[in-house]
Amino acid sequence: MTRDIGHFIGGKRVAGASGRFGDVFDPNTGEVQAKVALAAQDEVRAAVENAKAAQPAWAALNPQVRARVFFRFLDLVHQEKDALARLLSSEHGKTVPDSHGDIQRGVEVCEFACGAPHLLKGEFSDSAGPGIDMYSMRQPLGVVAGITPFNFPAMIPMWKFAPAIACGNAFILKPSERDPSVPMRLAELMIEAGLPEGILNVVNGDKEAVDAILTDPDIQAVGFVGSTAIAEYVYKTGTATGKRVQCFGGAKNHMIVMPDADMDQTVDALIGSGYGSAGERCMAISVAVPVGEQTADALMERLVPRVESLKIGPSTDESADYGPLVTEQALKRVRDYVDLGIEEGATLAVDGRDFTMQGYESGYFMGGCLFDHVGRDMRIYKEEIFGPVLSVVRAKTYDDALELPMSHEYGNGVAIFTRDGDAARDFAQRINIGMVGINVPIPVPLAYHTFGGWKRSAFGDLNQHGPDSIRFYTRTKTVTSRWPSGVKDGAEFVLPTMK
């Protein structure tokens, strides 16, 4: 018997009223485990009205009082982390240890949000003019929203709502309809932690709900993570209606392997970053670029047996390297890309297309695939595959290797593996990518730094978490103040200056 998942509006779960539902699958078995309501425009509007009514009182609270809600929330998440991880894995397919990492990275941004009282402090200038003081303050926008993807159903919702709510905003969350249960539970835990009803609302849905968010006149800002095509649509639609918008899209993350790299360390990094979570990460390494034929041959010699020996299992198998993909459509898409790579002339050194999991034959499992001799004009190089597929593009020189990510349309993350500090420094200085790893394969910054790509991996001026998140969810107001005591009165007809 399947369960029904509705929405979370006004501090409680409510049933969907649109009459439209989506299937939530168990990726391990291929079975439908739940039906999720797909919100109509009026249901999104109901969430906005709840948020709009609750937000002024929340914003009026001392920011330290708001931060205390997050301290209590963190305790509740810690108490429930095992159940949350199992719930996340059951809908996404990533292994339970990987789900723990998903939750932990979200928790770290909530910890950062606990510092909002300090982060919201403005600037002050005493005696900026005769008897004049000048100061600034950061104030919340009002009602804001986040549209988050399936691949991190705990982390990215927390990346969005934690800084927004800590700054005094009310938040509308539209999570992925593929794995909606954990975002719903997080909203309940926020209420248990003392968040007023209406400050965090969750509306499940598809494009109709997205469009309702983008066109609602009371939503002041929208954050999005997903594919580049949809990121661009959200950015253009949202900004056209006067909203502040930040959107993060696709990626094709390269790892440059220099001839002096520690090859064992490099292979370990490629295996973990390329195949972890079945490659369904926007920061996954999907392109390895060895410099020189000797380096490439040595890399392939070590990579092939490692990819062939990857342990694939159900999400409940904590010893598995990765689990199933999220849906049957995702599995078919990745298999089609592997077929395409063969047609394009790449060498398929390891073929995982026919992998089946005993006892889980209807699950969405796929073995690891490894391509060699991939060309820069091939679609498998240019497009994001989002699966357990690693492509090796051989480069003759360091400059040839550097030019590959430099000229690619995506600019999310990049890495270089080398023992040469000069090469690493040159690489970090010259590369036109938003997040750079030096002997670090997945350079996701910690919560107190900012996360964001360049080029067609990101739309908007401000990034996620870190100081940028506080800037994104607030407006700066500058006050110039003079008290009349001891100051000569008289009309002034010129623009005030520092003279």
pLDDT-derived band at 353 (thresholds 50, 70, 90) equals very high
Report percent pLDDT > 70 for the chain.
98
What is the model's pLDDT at position 487? 55
Sequence-distant (6+) residues with CB within 8 A of 204 are 5, 6, 7, 16, 22, 36, 37, 38, 39, 174, 175, 177, 180
Task: Say if residues 20 and 40 touch (Cβ distance below 8 Å).
Answer: yes
- pLDDT band at residue 409 under the 50/70/90 scheme: very high
Which residue in 205, 239, 209 sits closest to 222, CA to CA? 239
Task: Give the pLDDT of residue 171.
Answer: 98
CA-only gyration radius of the chain, Å: 25
pLDDT band with cut points at 50, 70 and 90 for residue 53: very high
Three-class secondary structure of residue 34 per DSSP: strand
Per residue in 34-50, pLDDT tens?
Answer: 999 999 999 999 999 99
What is the token pair recorded at 298? Answer: 């040595």
Q: Which residue has the tokens 């020996």?
A: 309
Residue 359's contacts (CB-CB under 8 Å, 6 or more residues apart) are none
Do 295 and 259 meet the contact criterion of CB atoms below 8 Å apart? yes
> How far, in Å, CA of 223 to CA of 472, rounded?
9
Cβ density class 202-214: b for 16+ within 10 Å, e for less: bbbbeebbbbbbb
Distance CA 111, CA 46 (A): 30
CB neighbour list of residue 494: distance below 8 Å, 6 or more residues apart: none
3-state secondary structure of 278: helix
Closest to 95 (Cα-Cα) out of 83, 84, 106, 86: 86
110 in catalytic set: no
Q: Token pair 């509705």 is at which residue?
A: 6
Mean pLDDT of the chain: 96
Alpha helices in 169-227 (DSSP H): 181-192, 207-215
* Helix axes 421-430 and 398-407, enclosed angle (nearest 10): 30
For position 492, what pLDDT does the model report?
72
- Among 110, 114, 247, 282, the active-site one is 282
| Residue 130 pLDDT | 85
Give the model's confidence band at 495: pLDDT under 50 very low, under 70 low, under 90 confident, else very high.
confident
| pLDDT value at 24 more than 60 | yes
Closest C-alpha among 74, 72, 91 to residue 34: 91
Segment 143-168 mean pLDDT: 98
DSSP state of 224: E
Q: What Å distances lie between residue 260 and 214, 257, 297, 430, 442, CA to CA?
A: 50, 8, 14, 20, 20
Q: Tell me: pLDDT of 190 over 70.
A: yes
pLDDT at 489 over 70: no
Q: How big, in percent rounded to 5, are the helix, strand and coil portions of the chain?
A: 40, 25, 35
pLDDT digits (tens, 9 = 90+) for 103-148: 999 999 999 999 999 999 999 999 888 889 999 999 999 999 999 9
pLDDT above 70 (res 486): no
Question: What are the structural domains of the chain?
Answer: 3-249+457-479 (3.40.605.10), 253-438 (3.40.309.10)
